[in-house]
A = this chain, B = another copy of it.
Amino acid sequence: MITNNYYTADNHGPFELYDLGDFPLEEGGAIHGCQLAYATHGTLNAAKDNAILVTTWYSGTSGIMADVYIGQGRALDPDKYFIIVVNQIGNGLSSSPHNTPAPAGMARFPRVRIGDDVRAQHRLLTEKFGIEELALVMGGSMGAQQTYEWAVRYPDMVRRAAPIAGTARNTDHDFLYTATLNQAITSDPAWNGGWYQASGDVGQGLRHQARLWAVMGWSTEFYQQEFWRNLGFHSAEDFVTNFLEGYFLPMDPNNLLCMAWKWQHGDVSRHTGGDLSAALGRIKAKTFVMPIDEDMFFPPRDCEAEQALIPGSELRVINSVCGHLALFGPDPGFGEQVDRHLGELLATP
């Protein structure tokens, strides 16, 4: 357990903690005293049928989901819905390598799967709020993985699903990309097998990871159009240093590695002995599969192949030269498209 002031309400907005007690994991072992951090927006109605679950991506927290996706007049409108944003295990707000006391934290934090997150979220929703039905589950990237897992694992509980820029079963290419993110951290001698003194000691590894996101996170067209000018930067290098390195530098390396392993091994077909078609065929939610056209590692064609296996689903491709990291909201057109699709989806009976 190490001190890291990045993972606080000051940076990520207010959140509550739900204590799951000893939480057993799919890979074996357990997180002892597992805490799930979540934030809510709006009010649960008496029928308890206006609940929306929002999940988080690699490195993301409930804060950015509220900033980019939730608001009055938006599709995710807290005046209409009770919106619960749950931080994934390992993201630094929920139980994570950095905030778990010795002997179990840091490099000894156990391996966590997407299925563990979804079971933990299910406990929170049912035990804490008595929610038996979700009007919508939505999330981007690893949040899409959790969305798919929800729709496959609890088909009767999820009425609508919107996986954005993510897949139900991770691809080989995506696995290799994520491995390079890990490699950036673990090749930093200061990482020391996960036993650094302070997160910032592994600054070189975190900066290197940021630079991999510079290449794969946006798109070639993002740089050709110098889209970074819209974000207030003066050169590509200025953008990479002051936006991307600045973003990753305060994070905890073991937290990122925990999430990355989960990302790499995301696969709903674990429920059906490896049969992806059978797994996705279980989904009862009305599902909009929403890839981003310029995404370099979750390309629309990969998402479309999965969408074709989901009964009654629709493919809604979002256009943005920001590529995968359009998820962060730098492109106003992205938010408009997401709202339009989610609005339509929520209007579906």
Contact = CB atoms under 8 A, between A and B. Distances in A.
B301 A221 contact: yes
Interface in A210-259: 211-212, 214-216, 220-224, 226, 236, 240
A176 interface: yes
A8 interface: no
A269 to B, nearest CB: 15
A187 interface: yes
B183 A211 contact: yes
Interface of A is mostly: helix
A173 interface: yes
A95 to B, nearest CB: 30
How often does this chain occur in the complex, in copies? 2
A173 B321 CA distance: 13
Contacts of A236: 172-173, 175-176
Contacts of A7: none
A59 interface: no
Interface in A182-200: 183-184, 187-189
A240 B214 CA distance: 23
Interface residues of A, number: 34
A236 B178 CA distance: 14
A177 interface: yes
Q: Which of A173, A226, A296, A297 has the most CB of B within 10 A?
A: A173
A172 B228 CA distance: 12
B212 A171 contact: no
Contacts of A175: 236
A330 interface: no
A24 B236 CA distance: 32
Contacts of A299: 220
A49 interface: no
A319 interface: no
15 contacts: A171-B223, A173-B215, A173-B220, A173-B223, A173-B236, A176-B211, A176-B223, A176-B236, A179-B211, A180-B208, A180-B211, A180-B212, A220-B299, A220-B301, A296-B296
Interface of A: 171-173, 175-177, 179-180, 183-184, 187-189, 204, 208, 211-212, 214-216, 220-224, 226, 236, 240, 296-297, 299, 301-302, 305
